[in-house]
Chain A
């Protein structure tokens, strides 16, 4: 199977609607586990998501349904309303709703539960720093993203700019991969993206990743976590944790992790998201309470 052909990838990118992968395990005893996925990972590889949900279903002995939505907020809303048991979301919505959400696992990337936000410009751009993008076109990822919204705004604010007026015009792409595309295709002059998504995408689509240039990297932040909502009982949370923590020791699980470009899942605590929480507080932008 040619999994990451350009056409397939682009076609998948354009699919903005909710994607539902339903899996029927060998012994379907109770209600399926509903797992929300956001563009903090490359959520366009339907084949991978299906294999991962099958693997999870086998470990949990429970049907697993992966749920996708266009925006982070929709997933977070579903999670908070109990319509999802689990979700892989960004650290920013997690800190916003820390009281209702429980941290299940934090992915390990390059051996650490950390990632960065990166300012990117087209490779031919003359911009050397985010300040050079003043009065230009800019792409935000999602208003609930840390690396594609919260941090870049914090960065501009810290330099004394009003993030809402700094650019001539800005757009939302609703995904890091799309922000990369918007920059690579010249739709915008710059964007801020998740370093993990950018590097992983570079593995799959070298030409796209090569069309952009990183002009500034943020400090390290806590990696987008997998969190549980009120709908998942403690037993289910423990089973989920053991499945995820054991994934790196399982042959098929390792293959799936390799596909995700991750090393495994860790038990890192909420403290790795302290910086994000601080930035959110600073900007006073906790819009969703």
Chain B
């Protein structure tokens, strides 16, 4: 129940209903009370007017002792069911006539029939005044009219007023209020329910989205939320922005982790290469020395050749791991890009992948030509290989914001995400084609030139984006 009440789907129509009901009830009550007040005033005024209208005839009836005339006058056209109770007293304070003859008997002492009237009689106040009769709770007010003839008091007319005739109308108004409320409720409840649902729907959607944060990958989280102009839309927009920021942060963390891992791999590789190179150099030198010592028999010569080739293969592999983007080569010029373009020109025809070049490089740079050429060459060859049959590849060289930009794109087989994560690592386990060091070398070169390299895969399209400062610090090797 509490859970149910907590839902806006219930609370909204409930709140609407409570508002409608309380408004209707208060309105009905206010109207009823106002009507009651008006009716009381009218009743008082009517009694006064009627009393004055009858006064002359009643004086005549009193003076002629014509009880029937007074009685038929007081009884009026309504008979004994009239709302007003009239009591006419003669000069001796005895009841002369009333439209309730059974209750207020002819000749009865006024004070005996209606205690307190004697005081009213002597007070001579012709305004409507409060009056109560013991045992007659419905009588609330009275109007008193002193009847005079030639200045002499001949009798008194009293109108006893009660609320009884109005209560019916008061209740009718209240009943009307209740009925109207019922009608309004019948109309408002479904509207409130639908409205509540409409208000709640985007909130529920938002809540669902929030629940997915932390459970699903932020970068792939696809969450439609309301973006209207209202507060919920604002909430939705803020949530989307927060989601974006979170996703960015996650991406950043991911990149940092990746580059840290690659740096560690680089350090290990460099250390291992260094440790291998020293004994390797010794072994190669020992073979040379042995050969220089004189001719050997055929079997030894074949063995030495085998050792020599094996050692050189190790040396090549190790030196490939030890990428050195040395600053001692000449500076990069636009002609270097043309060279690479020329070098890779025959490739597209062989692989069947059309390669488009766009070179927009006019800047002066102190970047060394050799590593950049190697980087570009590796990237282009890689792209062409990935494009395969039917794929396309493009290269975009630019120089903006003091940085050299190399964007290489290719279409072809989509890159699985798990490969994307370990793309730059040497000898990726599942890679069967190539020696597996191309992108590793690229990464090492870019890192040494203090640049950045990103791979972005969207379906069949893979894009490698390289940014290298045009003026790297010379002292850093």
Contact = CB atoms under 8 A, between A and B. Distances in A.
Contacts of A173: 68
B360 interface: no
B432 interface: no
A83 to B, nearest CB: 24
Interface in B72-121: 72, 75, 77, 79-80, 101-102, 105-107
A139 B72 CA distance: 14
B68 A174 contact: yes
Nearest to A10: B79
Interface string A112-150: 000000000000000000000000010100000000000
B80 A185 contact: yes
Contacts of B101: 185-187
A186 B102 contact: yes
A171 interface: yes
Contacts, number: 40
B77 A13 contact: no
Given A7-B77, A10-B77, A185-B80, A137 B106 contact: yes
A16 interface: yes
Contacts of B323: none
B66 interface: yes
A171 B72 contact: no
A161 interface: no
A7 B77 CA distance: 7
A171 B68 contact: yes
B80 A171 contact: no
Nearest to B77: A11
B67 interface: yes
B58 to A, nearest CB: 14
B77 A182 contact: no
Interface residues of B, number: 16
Interface string B16-39: 000000000000000000000000
Interface residues of A, number: 20
A168 interface: yes
B228 to A, nearest CB: 69
A188 interface: yes
A169 interface: yes
B103 to A, nearest CB: 9
B72 A14 contact: yes
A115 to B, nearest CB: 23
B71 interface: yes
Interface of B: 65-69, 71-72, 75, 77, 79-80, 101-102, 105-107
26 contacts: A10-B79, A11-B77, A13-B72, A16-B69, A16-B72, A137-B106, A139-B68, A168-B107, A171-B65, A171-B66, A171-B67, A171-B68, A171-B106, A172-B66, A173-B68, A174-B68, A178-B68, A178-B72, A182-B68, A185-B75, A185-B101, A185-B102, A187-B67, A187-B101, A187-B106, A188-B106
Given A10-B77, A168-B107, A186-B101, 12 more contacts: A14-B72, A137-B105, A137-B106, A139-B68, A169-B106, A169-B107, A171-B106, A174-B68, A178-B68, A185-B80, A187-B67, A187-B106
